[in-house]
Structure 1
Amino acid sequence: MSEQPHVVNKAGQVSTDQVEPVMDRISDDRKKQILDDFENFKSYLGKRIRMAESIGLSEESMAKVAQKIADYLAKHEEPQNSEEKLLYELWKVGDEDQRHKLAHMLVRMVQADKA
């Protein structure tokens, strides 16, 4: 049996090239559940951020993964609510540097929610 690829391997190394295959493995029903409500989205992201922190990932590493996930969502998913629509519109008009900064802000937003 082959092991499925992960964004973070057992050694704690980040492989952002694995974001798309991992996202593709999430069922449509699960994606809908996560994206239907912005609070659900933040909760889902927060759980992943806490997991990343627990294995010692830096904010920069988390932001790189968040940026790849946001790229994926912008290409493959329709915004489901006004908050996601705003993020989508900001993502569309931002350049690479601005998108990276927005990814940092998303990480910090969910970190602040748990405080």
Structure 2
Amino acid sequence: MSVLETFDKWKGFLSERVDQAQNTGMNNATINNLAYHVGDYLSTQVDPKNSQERVLKELWDVGNEEEQRALAGLMVKLVDKG
């Protein structure tokens, strides 16, 4: 089962990646920038697998770059444990 099959799996996967990045000393600006690039890739290359991902894609698609970066930052904040 792909991490994109359920939103909870996706959030868990993203949380683990954010934790790993923080543990290597990556700062929040860099993490948010990477999240933006991942979001851009997912929006253009991956079909949403559930309703939550569909909403995120639709929000991404109507947003400008600043709004997309804000959305990516919010996703990081959503899964950040500390």
TM-score range, shorter chain: over 0.9
Where does residue 81 of structure 1 map in the other structure?
Answer: 50
2:45 aligned with 1:44? no
Where does residue 64 of structure 1 map in the other structure?
Answer: 33
Select which of 71, 77, 80 maps to 1:102: 71
**Separation of aligned partners in 1, 2:69 and 2:77:** 13
Moved over 6 A (4+): none
What percent identity do the matched residue pairs reach? 33
Q: CA deviation at 1:40?
A: 0.5
**Separation of aligned partners in 1, 2:29 and 2:71:** 12
Where does residue 13 of structure 1 map in the other structure?
Answer: none
**TM-score normalised by structure 1 residue count:** 0.68
Q: CA deviation at 1:80?
A: 0.6
Superposed CA RMSD in Å reads 1.1
Q: CA deviation at 1:38?
A: 0.3
**Amino acid across the alignment from 2:47:** E
Q: CA deviation at 1:57?
A: 1.1
Gaps of 5+ in 2: none
**Separation of aligned partners in 2, 1:58 and 1:90:** 26
**Separation of aligned partners in 1, 2:42 and 2:16:** 18
SS in 2 for 1:34: coil
